[in-house]
């Protein structure tokens, strides 16, 4: 903020009663919260009256160096304080914002609507920031106060502005329109937020659209053509179909994606650039962050805003999932108007949570919340509240090393495979080894929600864990143990049978329990030489099964050994062998049997010709195959840590165990909170491995320790607690795997469970 005002000029703008000790002192910054005051900045304090009265904090502002105050009642301050008295301090601040707005002639784009404003603002900024110098509303500042503060950020260095605006009742938008004076607009439409204060949807539309009565163009989806026409707004409309080639349906909010693409296209961003950037739209902080918490709890952190529409989306996500039967909701209403608090709590109660905790101004979590176990806990509140910090106490990690999984990327990858298969082909996703290291339950639940047909695990205990976590999809056990038959039946799991002895043993077990028609899966050897019957066993297996009522063949399958080889001859020979087995079973049984042989690599190449009834996807779901780039798969994993300490190493000094590194010159090193116990192997020692810190690659110095790693940061501007990329946008999974002389499978499954898992939608 750079206002370039004097005390005298501010008094004239506000037309207030001024008692100025000095008139020509300069001010650059507006403060309304003493916690935000920065020493050394030339500021003015507006004593706003909200749920806290700013007049009670003027002395604290004075002690922090403020000497100019805008107030609406008498205050007791030292003699060297200058005071401007106005009738209403918020109105005065808006008057200042309006004056500041008139200094700039570049385009100001305003966004309003019931939901999605901040997402659209941040996404549009990302798409156009290479073409414009953009100033935009901080966070989700969109209220009468927030919009004013946003306008005060306008500056001479920028040439485009994006401002959010929101209303809670009729009559408010005229004030915002007069202050913002937008030249362009985006309208997101009406949801349920604040609807109780309007006489129906039509009035709600009409009040929101008053923001654009003097704007040149308002951008919106075609579904809002009628209210735009009724309000006589000059509109430029788009449809979802216009942007379907950009995979907008991969996004949690596809309508928002369509809108920002339409506006960016209008502003001159080329389609080729849009197609590249749309793949990397930022995930907003605290938007549906899901992670495993302490005491077996699942934490849903949505402490970004308390909009009713966003609240309902979060509740739908929580209650749609079967994961964790106990559903607990914690909402912070400390920054919510009194007339809205009842509406918010009523909506939460309509979902019938197991427990509901409502926090007020004190922001104190009840002790009962800390004692919860094995529950799904949704935290919902304004970004201004303290709740976002309190949520961090529930994270299940002892040190600052974590992996993030992008669920949007996973869904995109699954859709890529679907496009390569016949429409009737089902999807089985392998979630063995804790879903390839992504976690025991979150990914399986997500796969269940987006319509995957089957899950596959290696061992029975993996299947029982999923059942205990509420996963209801069919689960195939690939490596069935004979001593696990009880758990298989008790948890409704489906065993893979790979030998005649095993088949007879399972039939005998079912006979002893008086069970019939139990589903089994038969695996055949076609060239992998691992588990499975041989093709010559087909006739005997068919006879055995036909002579019993205890089992029913649910599927027949085989494994490809070399699907990623550019030479497809071996894979085709396996498919041909499997085709013969398939023909024999189809001839022997009238009931439907599912046949499958393709893995991720195989589905990419042979999906149309050998997709059969189902394919088994594994690492491809997470975006890591030899054909990932060609198939336009998206990597889903980011692995990060933080800096613990920074030291200066003098020439001749050594670093780490074994003293394998000796400094030839003066350098700086950072000690990171990651080691080989986390999965960052010791083979990455002495410059083999690198990390990425604040725009620079930093080589490993000395030997990797069990819990710590040292890196050279001599050319990096950084400090303790800064974030460090292990795998991400700059150091890819492929590069990291190659440096560890392994494959992505092993990297993912080797990340220790003590490393926190975060899931971002």
Known catalytic residues are: 432, 657
* Beta strands at 654-655 and 661-662: parallel, antiparallel or unpaired: antiparallel
DSSP one-letter string for 28-76: -EEES-GGG--TT--EEEE--BSSSBGGGGHHHHHHTT--EEEESS---
- Closest to 222 (Cα-Cα) out of 189, 252, 246: 189
For residues 614 and 72, what is the distance between their CA atoms, to the nearest angstrom?
A: 71
For residues 383 and 385, what is the distance between their CA atoms, to the nearest angstrom?
A: 6
For residues 185 and 124, what is the distance between their CA atoms, to the nearest angstrom?
A: 12
Q: Which two tokens stand for residue 235?
A: 């509109």
For residues 364 and 385, what is the distance between their CA atoms, to the nearest angstrom?
A: 11
- Closest to 113 (Cα-Cα) out of 267, 224, 196: 224
For residues 67 and 85, what is the distance between their CA atoms, to the nearest angstrom?
A: 14
Residue 600 · residue 617 · CB < 8 Å: yes
Instruction: Classify each residue of 99-112 as buried b or exposed e, where b means 16 or more C-beta atoms within 10 Å of its C-beta.
Output: bbbeebeeebbbbb
For residues 128 and 141, what is the distance between their CA atoms, to the nearest angstrom?
A: 20
- CA torsion sign for 594, 596, 600, 605 is negative
Please give the C-alpha separations between residue 380 and each of 321, 331, 383, 390, in angstroms, as whole numbers: 17, 5, 9, 11
Residue 555 · residue 614 · CB < 8 Å: yes
Residue 19 · residue 32 · CB < 8 Å: no
Torsion angle of the four alpha carbons 539, 544, 547, 549, in this order, in degrees rounded to the nearest 10: -120
Instruction: Classify each residue of 270-281 as buried b or exposed e, where b means 16 or more C-beta atoms within 10 Å of its C-beta.
Output: eeeebeebbeeb
Residue 184 neighbours by CB under 8 Å, 6+ apart: 107, 108, 109, 110, 215, 216, 217, 218, 219
- CA torsion sign for 277, 280, 285, 289 is positive
């Amino acid at each position: 903020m750079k206002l370039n005002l004097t005390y005298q000029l501010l008094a004239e703008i506000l037309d207030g009663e001024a008692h100025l000790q000095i008139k020509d002192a300069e001010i650059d910054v507006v403060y309304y919260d003493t916690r935000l005051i920065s020493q050394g900045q030339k500021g003015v304090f507006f004593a706003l009256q909200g749920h806290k009265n700013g007049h009670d904090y003027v002395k604290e502002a004075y002690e922090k160096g403020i000497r100019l105050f805008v107030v609406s009642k008498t205050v007791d301050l030292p003699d060297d304080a200058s005071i401007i008295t106005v009738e209403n301090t918020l109105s005065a601040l808006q008057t200042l914002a309006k004056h500041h707005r008139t200094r700039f002639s570049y385009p100001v784009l305003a966004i309003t609507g019931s939901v999605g404003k901040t997402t659209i603002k941040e996404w549009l900024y990302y798409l156009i920031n290479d073409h414009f110098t953009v100033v935009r509303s901080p966070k989700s500042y969109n209220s009468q106060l927030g919009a004013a503060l946003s306008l005060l950020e306008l500056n001479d260095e920028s040439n485009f502005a994006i401002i959010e605006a929101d209303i809670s009742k009729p009559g408010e938008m005229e004030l915002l329109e007069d202050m913002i004076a937008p030249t362009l607009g985006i309208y997101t439409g009406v949801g349920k937020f604040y609807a109780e204060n309007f006489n129906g949807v039509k009035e709600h539309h009409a009040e929101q659209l008053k923001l654009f009565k003097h704007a040149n163009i308002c951008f919106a989806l075609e579904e809002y053509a009628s209210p735009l026409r009724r309000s006589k707004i000059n509109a430029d409309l788009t449809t979802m179909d216009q942007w379907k080639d950009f995979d907008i349906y991969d996004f949690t909010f596809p309508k928002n994606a369509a809108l920002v693409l339409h506006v960016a296209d209008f502003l001159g961003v080329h389609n080729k650039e849009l197609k590249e950037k749309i793949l990397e739209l930022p995930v907003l902080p605290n938007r549906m962050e899901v992670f495993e918490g302490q005491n077996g709890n699942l934490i849903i952190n949505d402490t970004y805003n308390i909009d009713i529409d966003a609240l309902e989306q979060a509740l739908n996500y929580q209650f749609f999932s079967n994961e964790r039967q106990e559903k607990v909701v914690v909402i912070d209403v400390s920054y919510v108007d009194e007339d809205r608090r009842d509406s918010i709590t009523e909506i939460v109660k309509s979902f019938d949570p197991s427990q509901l905790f409502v926090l007020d101004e004190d922001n104190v979590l009840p002790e009962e919340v800390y004692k919860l176990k094995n529950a799904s806990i949704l935290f919902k509140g304004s970004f201004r509240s303290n709740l976002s910090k309190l949520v961090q106490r529930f994270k299940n990690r002892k040190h600052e090393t974590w992996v993030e999984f992008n669920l949007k990327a996973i869904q995109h990858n699954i859709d890529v495979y679907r496009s390569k298969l016949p429409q009737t082909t089902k999807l089985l996703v392998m979630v063995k080894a804790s879903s390839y290291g992504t976690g025991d339950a979150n990914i399986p639940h997500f796969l269940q929600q987006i319509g995957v047909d089957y899950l596959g695990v290696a061992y029975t205990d993996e299947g029982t864990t999923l059942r205990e976590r509420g996963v209801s999809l069919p689960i195939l056990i690939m490596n069935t143990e004979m001593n696990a038959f009880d758990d298989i039946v008790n948890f409704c799991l489906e065993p893979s049978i790979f030998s005649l002895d095993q088949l007879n043993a399972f039939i005998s077990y079912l006979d002893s329990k008086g069970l019939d028609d139990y589903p089994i899966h038969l695996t055949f050897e076609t060239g992998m030489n691992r588990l499975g019957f041989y093709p010559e066993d087909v006739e005997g297996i068919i006879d055995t099964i036909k002579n019993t009522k205890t089992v029913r063949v649910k599927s027949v399958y085989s494994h490809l050994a070399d699907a990623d080889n550019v030479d497809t001859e071996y894979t085709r020979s396996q498919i041909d062998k499997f085709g013969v087995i398939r023909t024999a079973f189809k001839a022997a049984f009238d009931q439907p049997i599912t046949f499958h042989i393709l893995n991720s690599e195989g589905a990419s190449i042979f999906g149309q010709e050998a997709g059969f009834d189902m394919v088994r996807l594994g690492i491809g779901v997470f975006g890591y195959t030899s054909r990932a780039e060609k198939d336009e798969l998206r990597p889903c994993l980011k692995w990060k840590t933080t800096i613990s300490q920074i030291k200066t190493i003098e020439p001749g000094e050594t670093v780490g165990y074994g003293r394998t590194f000796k400094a030839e010159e003066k350098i700086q090193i950072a000690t990171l909170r990651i080691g080989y116990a986390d999965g960052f192997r010791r083979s990455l020692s002495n410059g083999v491995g690198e990390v990425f810190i604040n725009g620079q690659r930093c080589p490993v110095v000395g030997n990797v320790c069990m819990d710590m790693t040292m890196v050279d940061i001599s050319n990096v501007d950084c400090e303790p607690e800064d974030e460090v990329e292990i795998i991400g946008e700059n150091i890819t999974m492929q590069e990291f795997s190659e440096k560890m002389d392994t494959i992505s499978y092993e990297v993912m499954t080797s990340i220790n469970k003590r490393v926190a898992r975060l899931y971002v939608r």
